[in-house]
Amino acid sequence: MQDNQRVRLTKKLLQDSLISLLQRENIHKLSIKQICDEAQINRSTFYKYYGSQYDLLEEMEKDVLDRINSYLEAGTDSTSYYDPQRLTKAIEFINENIDLCRLLLNNNVDPKFPEKLVLSLQSITNLAENQLSGKYSDAEFSYIFDFAIGGGFSFIKTWINKENREPPEEVAKLLSDIVMKLMHP
């Protein structure tokens, strides 16, 4: 048990170090030595878990995607993915990890992250298909879906970059209301 805690702590220190350094420097210019110095961890410890700074970033991205997806899908049925409570939990997670989420969503680190985010949320695609099937042609559906996803992404991106952000509950309710109006005109 103590080994697992030590591993989690070590990884957390490395993740925090990478976040801090990425706020000042491009990932391509970062060295493992810089990350380890910032985290006050030996390079050999870093290499025990990761092969490069990109591997560390990839694990962090995967964790963000998995967590957001788990909040949005928790206990869902086929009609309620835009439930404000689920959305609130996802947005609370973003708020609690604001520095990392800003880096990822603002394309400062991995320009493909927004695409990875959309692709990881298959449940949203399924809901849209269920709600809109038969109402629009395939081309119309594609445009409406892209508009809703792009708008939702832009909405969250605007919110995370504000100095005085509204509470997650308020943001989730507003986003949910907007999306549902798009789905049920």
**Angle subtended by helix axes 53-73 and 122-132, to nearest 10:** 40
Q: With a cut of 70, say whether residue 8 has pLDDT above it.
A: yes
pLDDT at 27: 93
Give the C-alpha separation, 101 to 80, whole Å: 25
pLDDT at 102: 93
Mean per-residue pLDDT of the chain = 86
pLDDT digits (tens, 9 = 90+) for 71-90: 887 655 544 445 678 788 98
Report in angstroms the alpha-carbon separations of 179 from 25, 33, 60, 128, 149.
36, 45, 28, 10, 9
Of 6 and 133, the structure prediction assigns the larger pLDDT to 6
* pTM for the structure as a whole: 0.83
Q: Using 50, 70 and 90 to split pLDDT, how confident is the model at 130? A: confident
Return the DSSP state at 165.
P
Q: Using 50, 70 and 90 to split pLDDT, how confident is the model at 118? A: confident
Of 121 and 77, the structure prediction assigns the larger pLDDT to 121
pLDDT digits (tens, 9 = 90+) for 151-164: 888 999 999 999 99
pLDDT at 81: 47
Q: With a cut of 70, say whether residue 137 has pLDDT above it.
A: yes
Give the C-alpha separation, 85 to 140, whole Å: 29
The type of residue at 158 is T
Q: Is the dihedral of CA 24, 89, 145, 125 positive or negative?
A: positive
Q: With a cut of 70, say whether residue 183 has pLDDT above it.
A: no
Task: Please give the average per-residue pLDDT across 15-24, as a whole number.
Answer: 96
Give the C-alpha separation, 118 to 121, whole Å: 5
